[in-house]
Amino acid sequence: MKLGFGSYRASLTRYESAIAYALLGVLAGLLSGSVVIAFEHGIEQLALVIGVGGRADDFEALPPLLRGLLPVVGALLLGLVFTGLRPEDREVGIVHVISRLHTSYGMLPWRNAVVQFFGGIVALASGISGGREGPGVHLGGAANSVAGQLLALPNNSLRILIACGSAGGIAAAFNTPLAGVIFAMEVIVSEYTVAGFMPVMLSAVAASALSRQFGGGSEIFDLASAQLASLWEIPFVVLLGIFCGCCAALFIRLSTLTAQLANWPIVLRFTLAGMVTGGLGILVPEALGMGYDTLGKVLFDDVALSALIIIGSAKIFATAIAIGSGMPIGIIGPSLLVGACAGAAVAGVVQTLNPGVALDAGLYAMLGMAAAMGAVFAAPLAAILAIIELTQSTSIAMPALLAIIAAHLTNQVVFRQRPAHRSVLRQLERQVPDDPLNQLLHRTDVSTVFDGSVVVIGEQINRSAARALAVQVPNWCLVNRDGESLFLVSGPELLAWIEGTEPQEVQDDDLHHYHVTESSLRRWSIAAVPEQATLRQAADMLRTRTVEAVCVYSRGSGRERHLRGVITRERIERFTLDRLHP
């Protein structure tokens, strides 16, 4: 069994191992789906204790004073708990996942996941304006990353595990497996590969099936009959996209401005967000919580025009300030509600100004959902698939794409706003390179590149050892002293030096030693990486430690470790040139 798992683990070092990664995708989906379902049930159970029904969304039924106090108390409690945490343990959500994926080689800490789980439950159950999909991405990705670390899986597979967990988290929280797949590839890993798609798709299917079996995920709104009455409505669709782009830009700008208060004590920031949310909740109860009940009313044209404008505006302010202050919430759900309100409001305004134009408010609410989500995340494919799956309508694909493009251009070209997650990363001064070279290095295991022709020698070797080396002719020799690795020397150069200094009169091989440390051979400075490392880790080690080569060691510690191979900068450059410019 151990041998079988070892073989499976070794197969994961090859990115093209279809069967191995397919199995990984199914298991990752089941794990991420289970965690997200537990998270959702936690929200609902705490909300019931507080007195909020309707799947933790019926804040409208609460007395105004209680609506105002709940977010303040929840935020204050979270602020006090977060104050006792280390700053690095407070990082949660999609931004945390993306940052760790690119800077820590996919190793997500379990502490942050625990903070996300319980912090998200308290925040959303107490009425803080946010969504459960962002926490779902973090929890799904972290559960799989931690499992991969415990099983000592190669680090290149951790990227796929996080993508699988993110897709599973979206699929379980939203009942949208297709959107989960595209969101994971479009936003989280920023990469489309055939080999990467298959396990992520299987993960989304497994998580979605689990969610539907155990009652998780969002409602499915059956609006399959909604469609444009005429192509003459296209100008209104473009107008809707522009308006949603303005809403997205306002949301991103407000959250960025709030994030500038990062030097404030976290308890003050959280309490401020709770007070703003509570104050808005007294006047606009629909601004509290996740807002899926309100979303259903908007889609079925059950909200007045003035209420649409008020709810959308309140949701933008409440969510932007909460997310900017660092609350453990997501923004996908709120972006959908804001977009729905914007779309239905555009349809209402047009009909008010020109009663002769009959626009389907439900259709425009759907288009607004796609446009707002696409603009906030710069994820057009994920947005349109999410709306198609949520509403069971494929007829909106063409106008939705048009609205998404208009919203995206308005947000990024007119207002020069980056996607929400990129804006926060920039505010945190985090660089997340996603160019083809970095993507290749991240998904390549060191075993693909290292030179395994290497032996370990002492700083002194006798004639018998020298003759054994002459038989092997290794490319590299690692010089050791009392178990400590000193430097590398070229195997052929070492043999040539031995041959040039070999004495003729010595009869006993053990009476003469060659002192390698006293030779004039070129010494290659070294650093160590584990065998589960990626080529990105090896390249980073070469750069940060300013060494000339890295030695790849097997798992274990001390004398239990075994030298597997050597990687030089030239070897990495040759590999990348061959792959990127075949």
More confident: 434 or 235: 235
Residue 225 domain-assigned? no
H/E stretch holding 479 reads: strand 476-481
419 forms beta bridges with none
The answer to whether the beta carbons of residues 325 and 135 sit under 8 Å apart is no
More confident: 181 or 506: 181
360 plus 298 within the same structural domain: yes
Helix, strand and coil in the chain, % to nearest 5: 65, 10, 25
pLDDT grade for 502, boundaries at 50, 70 and 90: low
User: Which residue is associated with the tokens 């409690």?
Assistant: 77
The CATH number of the domain holding residue 540 is: 3.10.580
Residue 433 domain-assigned? no
pLDDT attached to residue 1:
39
Residue 440 domain-assigned? no
Task: Name the average pLDDT for the chain.
Answer: 90
H/E stretch holding 481 reads: strand 476-481
The answer to whether the beta carbons of residues 195 and 58 sit under 8 Å apart is no
Check whether 442 has a pLDDT greater than 50. yes
Check whether 529 has a pLDDT greater than 60. yes
**Last residue of one domain, picked from the residues 220, 254, 272:** 220
Residue 437 domain-assigned? no
Residue 152 domain-assigned? yes
**Last residue of one domain, picked from the residues 427, 459, 489:** 427
246 plus 300 within the same structural domain: yes
79 plus 107 within the same structural domain: yes
Residues listed for the chain: 582
- The pTM of this model reads 0.91
pLDDT grade for 559, boundaries at 50, 70 and 90: low
pLDDT attached to residue 510:
60
More confident: 504 or 114: 114
pLDDT attached to residue 400:
93
214 plus 240 within the same structural domain: no
Question: Lowest mean pLDDT: which of 114-118, 324-328, 353-357, 373-377?
Answer: 353-357
pLDDT attached to residue 20:
93
The answer to whether the beta carbons of residues 563 and 478 sit under 8 Å apart is yes
Query: Distance between CA atoms of 526 and 478, rounded to whole angstroms?
Result: 9
pLDDT attached to residue 117:
98
Q: How big is the CA angle at 189 (ends 154 and 581), to the nearest 5 degrees? A: 80
CB neighbour class for 30 (10 Å; exposed up to 12, middle 13-18, buried from 19): middle
The two structure tokens encoding residue 85? 């945490």
pLDDT attached to residue 429:
64
Helices (H), strands (E): how many in the chain? 23, 8
pLDDT grade for 192, boundaries at 50, 70 and 90: confident
Its domain, for residue 493, covers: 446-580
259 plus 328 within the same structural domain: yes
pLDDT tens digit sequence for 126-155: 999 999 989 999 999 999 999 999 999 999
List, as one string, the DSSP characters of 432-476: ---SHHHHHHHH-BGGGT-B--EEEEESEEEHHHHHHHHHH--SE
214 plus 237 within the same structural domain: no
The answer to whether the beta carbons of residues 199 and 25 sit under 8 Å apart is yes
The two structure tokens encoding residue 261? 């208060």
Check whether 535 has a pLDDT greater than 90. yes
pLDDT attached to residue 375:
96
Residue 435 domain-assigned? no
Average pLDDT over residues 93-113: 92
List, as one string, the DSSP characters of 378-402: T-HHHHHHHHHHHHT-STTHHHHHH
193 plus 129 within the same structural domain: yes
pLDDT grade for 238, boundaries at 50, 70 and 90: very high
pLDDT attached to residue 422:
80
Residue 9 domain-assigned? yes
283 plus 312 within the same structural domain: yes
More confident: 80 or 554: 80
Average pLDDT over residues 373-379: 94
pLDDT grade for 173, boundaries at 50, 70 and 90: confident
Name the 3-class secondary structure at 477.
Answer: strand
Contacts with 291 (C-beta within 8 Å, 6 or more apart), sequence order:
57, 129, 315, 333, 334, 337
Q: Report the domain count for the chain.
A: 3
**Last residue of one domain, picked from the residues 187, 220, 253:** 220
Of residues 460, 518, 525, the one with CA closest to residue 489 = 525
Query: Distance between CA atoms of 50 and 57, rounded to whole angstroms?
Result: 12
pLDDT attached to residue 561:
78
For 19-23, the CB contacts below 8 A with 24+ separation are 21/157, 21/160, 21/195, 21/198, 21/199, 22/198, 22/199, 22/202
Residue 131 domain-assigned? yes
pLDDT tens digit sequence for 41-95: 999 999 999 999 878 889 999 999 999 999 999 999 999 999 999 999 999 999 9
pLDDT attached to residue 26:
96
Average pLDDT over residues 432-437: 79
Strand order, beta sheet including 526-530: 526-530, 549-553, 563-568
CB-hemisphere CA count at 13 Å for 410? 25
104 plus 147 within the same structural domain: yes
325 plus 351 within the same structural domain: yes
pLDDT tens digit sequence for 456-487: 999 888 888 888 898 888 999 999 988 889 99
Cβ-based neighbour number of residue 11 at 10 Å: 18
Check whether 553 has a pLDDT greater than 50. yes
pLDDT tens digit sequence for 12-33: 988 788 899 999 999 999 999 9
194 plus 311 within the same structural domain: no
164 plus 256 within the same structural domain: no
Cα–Cα distances in angstroms (integers) from residue 505 to residues 113, 270, 502, in the given order: 69, 83, 9
pLDDT grade for 423, boundaries at 50, 70 and 90: confident
H/E stretch holding 530 reads: strand 526-530
Phi, psi (5° rounding) for residue 465? -65, -35
pLDDT grade for 248, boundaries at 50, 70 and 90: very high
Average pLDDT over residues 425-438: 75
Check whether 166 has a pLDDT greater than 70. yes
Contacts with 395 (C-beta within 8 Å, 6 or more apart), sequence order:
224, 226, 227, 228
Average pLDDT over residues 298-314: 93
The CATH number of the domain holding residue 325 is: 1.10.3080.10
The answer to whether the beta carbons of residues 181 and 38 sit under 8 Å apart is no
pLDDT tens digit sequence for 256-294: 999 888 889 999 999 999 999 999 999 999 999 999 889
pLDDT grade for 208, boundaries at 50, 70 and 90: very high
pLDDT grade for 501, boundaries at 50, 70 and 90: confident
Q: End-to-end distance of the chain based on CA atoms, in angstroms?
A: 40
pLDDT grade for 392, boundaries at 50, 70 and 90: confident
